[in-house]
Amino acid sequence: MAYMHIGKDFVPPDVPGKVTGRIKYAEDYTREGMVYARLLTSPIPHGRVLDIDASEALAMDGVYGILTADDVYPDGEPQSTGLKILTNEPTLVGEPILAVAAVDEKTAETAIASIAVTFERLPHVIDPLESLEEGGPDAYNGGNTFVFRQGFVQEKWTADQVASFRAGNEPSAEPPTELAYGDLDASFAEAAFVYENTFTTAGYPHMSMEPRSAMAYWEDGKLYLHGGSQSLTAFADGIAGIIGVAKEDLVFVNVATGGGFGQRARAGSVPVYGVPAKLSQKINRPVMMRVTREEEFTIGGARQGFQGWIKLGFKQDGTMSAADLWIVSDNGGKGGGGDAFSATNAVSIVYQAEAVRLRGVSIGSNTAHRGAQRGPGENQIAAIVSPILDKAADELGIDRLEIRKINTPQNGDVGGIQRQPFTSAYMPEALEQTAQLFDWDGRQSRRRQRNGSKVTGLGIGQGYHNAGRSGMDGIVMMGADGRLKIHNGVGNLGTYSYASTSRAAAEVLKMPWESCDIVTGRTDLHLPITSPQDGSNSIFTNTRTFWGAAQDMLAKMKEIAANELGGSPDDYDVSNERIHQIADESVGYSFAEVAQRAMELG
C-alpha cells in the first residue's frame, strides 16, 4: 500500500521556532505585574520543621509574600512517599520547604537568606542495606518502606543476613514480594552452565535541559499555568488535583518542553508547579518560578538503584533454562517505582527464560527523588545480564551472537511474569540486520586485541519496552476554509510525536500536509484527552486515535455527499482535497464546501 504521509519525511511546525530560538518555554513567558519566586530548600537529608521566622524577609522592600507547607496543606501533608508542593518533613537534601515572591530574583534570594528555619534533625540513611539491618535508621517518619493501602512500615533483616548478602550470597530473608513461573529447581537441574553472583546498578538523575520552571497567574477564577511536561492534557488533569483546582478552571500551557525521560510525564513527579500557582493565588500577582540546575538535580528524579543477587542457568544448547533474582531497590527519599518487576520481565521476555523468580523489597534512602526513567528496570538489568550471556556462550562453546538468537523472542511467544503473548517482536530480524551492518563475523579477529592499556571488545546490547494502551480521544475538524484542524493533546517533548500522530488524520483524508493545522500547546483549545506520554507509547496509541477520528470524518463526508449528490456513501472517495464520486470525479464537493454543508445541517 502506498502512503501519502506515513513513513515520509516532514517538517514539524515548531522546528523553525526551535532553530531560531523564537519558540517559548515556560521561563520565556511574562505577564504584567509579574513577580519572581525562589525556593528555600532543606539543608538536611531528614528532618522536621519546628519554626519559621520570616519577619525580616517580609519587611523587606520588594517582597510580596511567602508560601509554606502550612499554606498548601492546612489540614496536614499527605502521608506518602510522593513529592509534595512544599513540606515540613523533608526526606532529602534540597526538598522545597518554602517559597518567597519578590520584585526580582535577587531580592527574593536576599529575603530567603534572612529567613530562620529551625529543624529537628532525624536519622537518615544513604544505603538501603544499612536501613534493612536491625537497628538501622529509617528514611521516612514511620518506617523504611511504603506498602499500598497500609502506609509506612519497617522491613528489617538480621545483621548476619545483611552481612551475608554483602559478601555475595543469596539473601536468606523472607521477601515481601515474590513472583514466579515455571519449575525453578527442575530448570536449574537441566542447566549445563550456572552463573551466580551479586550486582549493583547506579541510580543516576535525569537532568533534562529544561528545569522544572513554571509561571502562573489567575484570571476570572481560572488558573493559567505555564510549565514543561512530556504530556499535555494528561498532565493537566493530574496537576489540577495536586493544586486543588477544578479541571475546568485550569489552563495548562505547554508549547514546548526541553527534555524529559519519564519523570516529566505525570503531575505527581512535578508537584513543584503548585508553588507559583498557590503563591500567585495568595498574593494576587503573576508569579514566575525559575528552578536552578542544582534544584533540578535534587527534585528532578533519578532511577531506582539496585543491589541484587542473580542466578542464571543455561542448557548445553545455550537455552536459558532458569533465572532467579533477589533485588533490593533504592526508593530514595521520595518516589519509588516498580523497576525490579520490570527488570525481571525483561529477563523473561528478551531471553525467553523457561522458569523465572523475583524476590524483592523496596527500601527508602535519604537521597534523590526516585522514579521511572527511560526503560525503568529493563535498562538496569540489561547491563547485568549481557556479560553473563557472553560468559555462558564462551563456556558452552557458542558464538555470542548465536546464544542471543537461540533465546530471542518472536511473534507468538509469551513472556513476563504474567506470561503475556507478543504481537510485535522482531528481535531475530534486528539481531540479523545489526550483525550484517556491523560485520560481526568479520570483526571477531579484533576481540581482545591490546594496544597499550586499551583492549578491544565486541558486545551486543539488547533491550525491550512494552507498548500498549488506549490513546483515548482524537478530535479533527474541517474548517469552512477547507483546512484540516487536528486537535492534539500529546505533549511536545521534542520527539515530535504530537506532529507525527497528527499525520495519521491527514493520511486518511489524503490531505496535503501544508493544508493541515495542528491545534495544541494549551488546554483551552478544546484538546482531546490522551494517555500520558511515557512508556514509549505515544505513536502506538495516539496514531490510532487520530486515524479513527479521521475515519469518522470521512464517513460523514461520504454520507453528506451521497445524500446531496446521489448514490451511496460507498460510491465516494477523497483526493485533491475533494470528496467525489469514484466513477466520475467531477461530481463532488471541495472539502471547504462539504464542511460548510455539514455546518448547515448541524
Domain assignment of residue 140, yes or no: no
Phi, psi of 408 (to 5 degrees): -75, 145
Exposure string over 192-221, b if 16+ CB within 10 A, otherwise e: ebbbeebbebebebbebebbbbbbbbbeee
Report the distance separating Cα 405 and Cα 407, nearest Å. Answer: 5
Structural element, H or E, at residue 320: strand 320-335
**Residue 288 grid coordinates:** 514566575
484 and 585 share a domain?
yes
3-state secondary structure 201-254: ECCCECCCCCCCCEEEEEECCEEEEEECCCCCHHHHHHHHHHHCCCHHHEEEEC
pLDDT of res. 164: 97
Structural element, H or E, at residue 497: helix 497-509
Query: Which residue type occupies 9?
Result: D
198 and 345 share a domain?
yes
Domain assignment of residue 460, yes or no: no
- DSSP E strands in 115-158: the ranges are 116-121, 145-147, 151-153
415 and 521 share a domain?
no
Last residue of a domain, one of 263, 292, 321: 292
Residue 543's domain is classified under what CATH number? 3.30.365.10
318 and 422 share a domain?
yes
225 and 188 share a domain?
no
Domain assignment of residue 382, yes or no: yes
- Three-class DSSP category at 446: helix
194 and 232 share a domain?
no
Residues sharing a CB contact under 8 Å with residue 521, sequence separation 6 or more, in sequence order = 232, 253, 254, 255, 492
pLDDT of res. 244: 96
Q: Are strands 35-41 and 287-289 parallel, antiparallel or unpaired?
A: parallel
194 and 107 share a domain?
no
Is the CB of residue 553 less than 8 Å from the CB of residue 591? no
Q: What angle do CA 459, 461, 462 make, to 5 degrees?
A: 145
Alpha carbon separation from 269 to 141, 299, 602 (Å, rounded): 21, 9, 43
Report the distance separating Cα 532 and Cα 549, nearest Å. Answer: 19
Domain assignment of residue 254, yes or no: yes
> Per the confidence metrics, is the pTM higher than 0.85?
yes
Alpha helices by DSSP H, 1-118: 15-20, 55-58, 69-72, 105-113
Domain assignment of residue 150, yes or no: no
542 and 419 share a domain?
no
Q: How many domains does the chain have?
A: 3
Report the distance separating Cα 501 and Cα 12, nearest Å. Answer: 11
Report the distance separating Cα 35 and Cα 64, nearest Å. Answer: 8
Last residue of a domain, one of 455, 487, 507: 455
Range of the domain at 561: 475-601
- Three-class DSSP category at 88: coil
118 and 259 share a domain?
yes
Provide the 8-state DSSP code for 575: E
67 and 101 share a domain?
yes
Report the distance separating Cα 86 and Cα 532, nearest Å. Answer: 25
- DSSP E strands in 371-474: the ranges are 414-415, 420-421, 450-451, 454-455
Report the distance separating Cα 593 and Cα 575, nearest Å. Answer: 14
Per-10-residue mean pLDDT, the chain, length 602: 90 92 95 98 98 98 98 93 94 97 98 98 97 96 86 94 97 95 97 97 89 97 96 95 97 93 89 98 98 92 94 98 97 90 94 96 93 87 96 96 95 92 90 95 92 93 80 92 97 88 97 97 95 84 93 98 96 97 96 96 88
pLDDT of res. 472: 83
Q: Are strands 306-314 and 320-335 parallel, antiparallel or unpaired?
A: antiparallel
Is the CB of residue 539 less than 8 Å from the CB of residue 550? no
Domain assignment of residue 133, yes or no: no
Beta bridge partners of 369: 332, 334
CA atoms within 13 A on the CB side of 379: 13
Last residue of a domain, one of 261, 292, 323: 292
Domain assignment of residue 17, yes or no: no
Report the distance separating Cα 14 and Cα 543, nearest Å. Answer: 19
308 and 447 share a domain?
yes
Residue 268's domain is classified under what CATH number? 3.90.1170.50
Is the CB of residue 328 less than 8 Å from the CB of residue 361? yes
Count helices and strands (H / E) in the chain: 17, 26
193 and 241 share a domain?
no
Phi, psi of 10 (to 5 degrees): -155, 165
Domain assignment of residue 524, yes or no: yes
Is the CB of residue 545 less than 8 Å from the CB of residue 530? yes
